[in-house]
Structure 1
Amino acid sequence: MFYIAIVGRPNVGKSTLFNKIVGGRPAIVDNTPGVTRDRHIAITERLDHRFGVMDTGGFEPAAEDELLAQTCEQTILAIEEADFIIFVVDGTVGINPLDEEVAKLLRKSNKPVILAVNKMENPRRHDEAFEFSKLGFGDVRPVSAEHSIGIESMLESALESAPKEEQTDDDADETRPIRIAVTGKPNAGKSSLVNRLTGGDRMMVSNIPGTTRDAIDTHLAHDDRRFTLIDTAGIRRKSKVTQKLEKYSVIMAMKAIERADVALLLIDGAEGISVQEAKIAGLIADAGCGVVIVVNKWDIVEKDEKTTLLYEEAIRRQLKFMAYAPIVFVSALTGQRVDKIWNAVEEVFVQYSKRIGTAKINSLVTDFTNRKQAPMYRGRRVKFYYTTQTRACPPTFVIMSNLPEGVNFSYRRYMVNQIRLQAGFEKTPIRILFKKPADRRTDQKRSKTRG
């Protein structure tokens, strides 16, 4: 995946720009310097590209404060991992010594850079932005993140070098090895599980969180089916990630999820699900990856006849957005029910890589949208003309509509659920995109023509 890193000194508007690019307000925005303490990553789709955006804390290389020093390290890591850099400066105050420090670091990286001179909402001041060309970058853009000025054209330029995400024949091949990412917070039992699945001590196993330092691929076969296991370093609670090596492991884990067809989300059965597992689940969902929730260490949990049901209900409550994911209860230590993971992964992958004919999906969509019509949008009826599946892995559908912007969240969820249930996608994530057909005029235009 193509990654863009947004870097700069504190309080120049990096998080505001991040939020404008990815939509919503996922990063904390405040006028206090240093508010964005850790690197925030989001995956978004714009301008016919799917790409990742990394928001970094303010870069202060001489910081003595431990937290600020860690933020500086994260910025360096983001630069190393990114394919393209947006360097943000404050156009209202001129070049700052910290800007020069950031520029020096970026020049050493040899990465493509756009210099975004922010807070330039007044067009009469745009010429002042070119003062910043002294920092040594040829592509200087006056922008205003707050007022969305210059953002779209800047993104277009940044994405010119991004490869289009196209499905390969390998992705569509149901007989290829199923790529599995093993994820979870440290000490949930990831390496022990891989050792159990592979039948050997493939990886270093320790009770110290974070002992798996890299993403290591293991190729194997089970019941004549080929698999590739990717054991990722534990995605540690961000506030506890202090060493550079550990920060790099977090990035590696995220990239492993993006490579996978199915992620195993490990939960420590003795501790229960936490906010951290919910965050990891969010990363998996953003990547469009299939998932099996694996509750490990089930052998040491005190149980009665209702324990499994109550535990599953608790997971479903906390991961409502992942209701499609099967749940298995295992013990990597004893091997109890570990074989069930293989069956669950195969079931998810069959649906994850499934395609449905255009005639069938159109018939289904027509049927359930006629049965329950979309709410009116600004006094106009929302219509759906036709539907097609544009890709598998994950199954992605494009629905042509006269008012794509008029399909509200509740009705989108209704459509997803109906496709999931009626077309056999109960155990996989699916994506639905709404577009306006280029060769159809809207009802409003037709009425004006008639008038």
Structure 2
Amino acid sequence: MALTVAIVGRPNVGKSTLFNRLIGKRLAIVDDTPGVTRDRRYGEASLGGLSFTVIDTAGFEDASDDSLEARMREQTEAAIAEADVSLLVFDARAGVTPLDEHFARLLRKSKKPVILIANKAEGHAGSAAALEGFRLGLGHPLPLSAEHGEGLGDLYDALEPIAADKVAQGRLDAAAARDAQLEEVTPLDLDEDAGDDENLPEPVAPKHLQLAIVGRPNVGKSTLVNALLGEDRLLTGPEAGITRDSIAIDWQWGEQAIRLIDTAGLRRHARITEKLEKLSGADTRRAIQYAHVVVLVLDANDMLEKQDLTIARQVIDEGRALVIAANKWDSIEDKNEALKKLRERIDWSLPQVKGIPVVTLSGMTGRGLDKLMGAVLGIYRTWNKRVGTARLNRWLADVVAQHPPPLVSGRRIKLRYATQIKTRPPTFALFAAKADELPESYHRYLVKSLREVFDLPGTPVRLILRRTDNPFDTERD
């Protein structure tokens, strides 16, 4: 059984820096601004020979009302309840503060192991200041520098016995469960070969569908993710721009394993002035680059603004499959007219990708979630579609017969043959003499025909022209 470790502490003590250090990636956004992290984020960490799940949490605020800080505190408390051990991080240079003491009291009430981390303790001065952590009554503070990677050996020594206890307890629980199961089985039910599983097939790890939820700020992305998961996993509220990091959550829809990624809202570059928002935007664009399917969430009361189209074009340019979700649909009075206008605007503004799936839904009530996931899985299959070379060349012969390529310098361009060179998105290579002289209009004609004949709606289709270099070709330049 894997160990789960929560990194907790007041804002701006270096929790996300430690999280990134343990997982070996710059996954969490790090900035000098206090309170950058708001949702809890999971990662697979490795320290020496020890592997464990680590949770990055929001900076703890002593608030219990309906404010954003109070909702962030609930996220942190959920991480503490889930974890086997908490790392309480304080700033060795700033010393112990009243909020650190308040947090220490809360962790003692959890009755789970706590390791006290004195971060930013690089150098002799920092190590000496770390001793102030004894005031918290949580044992010996470990001097550590997450930014420079110092003190990780001491952290390993502190985590290793807790991990060993976790493994031992897991074995005891498994043995007890097997004993209980055997007690329920009568002797007549026992089979001498029941324990022989050498001939059983090895389990196949499911492939994750990377599903990114993107859109402008405050269109309901996190609310939609919570509705899909069936729990308040992500921080939501009326405030715009609550989500700052891209949060990845492993999830299952039917038999399909999905990695669901909630992202920060994207605004126009001209409106972005703060460094933190630039970092959040870069994180969202990186999520789009690595996604398989992207759901662009629109506010049904303010649909398909210029920024929505900018995001959609970015998704298409990256070659990702796109689904458009009109959220807050329950607030629309004339739904038929609104849907008609939306589809017309999409066809007019995104002509390079015909047939983009459009789903109307409400993340608040859960209406339309089945249709959304049906559209996601359908476009995912299209995005992975492969067409045989024989079918492609029959198509090429037909399309050339219907509309031959134009003349160039008095000679007609010969289209030799076509083949699919990759999927995700469907990408085809067309070999031709004078390929670089084929007009753009004819290229668009071929792509449109490919989309229609081979049923590739809503997904980017790429057609790469390659020149044939046949020494016996009399039309060769």
TM-score, normalized by length of structure 1? 0.58
Question: What's 2:369 paired with?
Answer: 338
How many residues in Structure 1 have an aligned counterpart in Structure 2? 274
Query: Which letter maps to 1:217?
Result: A
Structure-2 separation of matches of 1:206 and 1:323: 35
Q: 1:217 and 2:248 equivalent?
A: yes
Structure-2 separation of matches of 1:294 and 1:441: 54
Structure-1 separation of matches of 2:471 and 2:423: 27
Q: 1:382 and 2:416 equivalent?
A: no
Query: Which letter maps to 2:377?
Result: E
Q: 1:280 and 2:311 equivalent?
A: yes
Question: What's 1:391 paired with?
Answer: 422
CA contact (8 A) 2:433 2:476 kept: no
Which residues of structure 2 form unaligned runs of 5+?
1-203
Structure-1 separation of matches of 2:362 and 2:446: 37
2:288 is paired with a residue of what secondary structure?
helix
How far the C-alpha of 1:176 sits from its partner, in A, is: 1.8
CA contact (8 A) 1:185 1:237 kept: no
Question: What's 1:431 paired with?
Answer: 462
What whole-Å deviation, never above 9, does each CA across 1:380-437 have from its counterpart, x for those lacking one?
2111111111111011101001011222222111111111111121232111000112
Query: Which letter maps to 2:210?
Result: R
TM-score, normalized by length of structure 2? 0.55
What whole-Å deviation, never above 9, does each CA across 1:282-321 have from its counterpart, x for those lacking one?
1101100000011111111121543322332223223333
Q: 1:354 and 2:371 equivalent?
A: no
Question: What's 1:250 paired with?
Answer: 281
Q: 1:190 and 2:258 equivalent?
A: no
Structure-2 separation of matches of 1:282 and 1:288: 10
Q: 1:421 and 2:421 equivalent?
A: no
| Change in CA separation of 1:267 and 1:364 when aligned onto 2, cut-off 3 Å | same
Give the alignment partner of residue 232 of structure 1, picking from 263, 288, 305. 263
Which residues of structure 1 form unaligned runs of 5+?
1-172, 447-451
Question: What's 1:112 paired with?
Answer: none
| Change in CA separation of 1:242 and 1:366 when aligned onto 2, cut-off 3 Å | same
| Change in CA separation of 1:218 and 1:299 when aligned onto 2, cut-off 3 Å | same
Structure-2 separation of matches of 1:374 and 1:175: 45
Question: What's 1:125 paired with?
Answer: none
Structure-1 separation of matches of 2:351 and 2:293: 18
Map 1:199-214 to 2 at 5 A: 199-214=230-245
Give percent identity, aligned residues only: 33
Q: 1:368 and 2:368 equivalent?
A: no
| Change in CA separation of 1:204 and 1:381 when aligned onto 2, cut-off 3 Å | same
Query: Which letter maps to 1:220?
Result: W
Question: What's 1:267 paired with?
Answer: 298
Question: What's 1:294 paired with?
Answer: 325
Question: What's 1:135 paired with?
Answer: none
How far the C-alpha of 1:181 sits from its partner, in A, is: 1.1
What whole-Å deviation, never above 9, does each CA across 1:146-168 have from its counterpart, x for those lacking one?
xxxxxxxxxxxxxxxxxxxxxxx
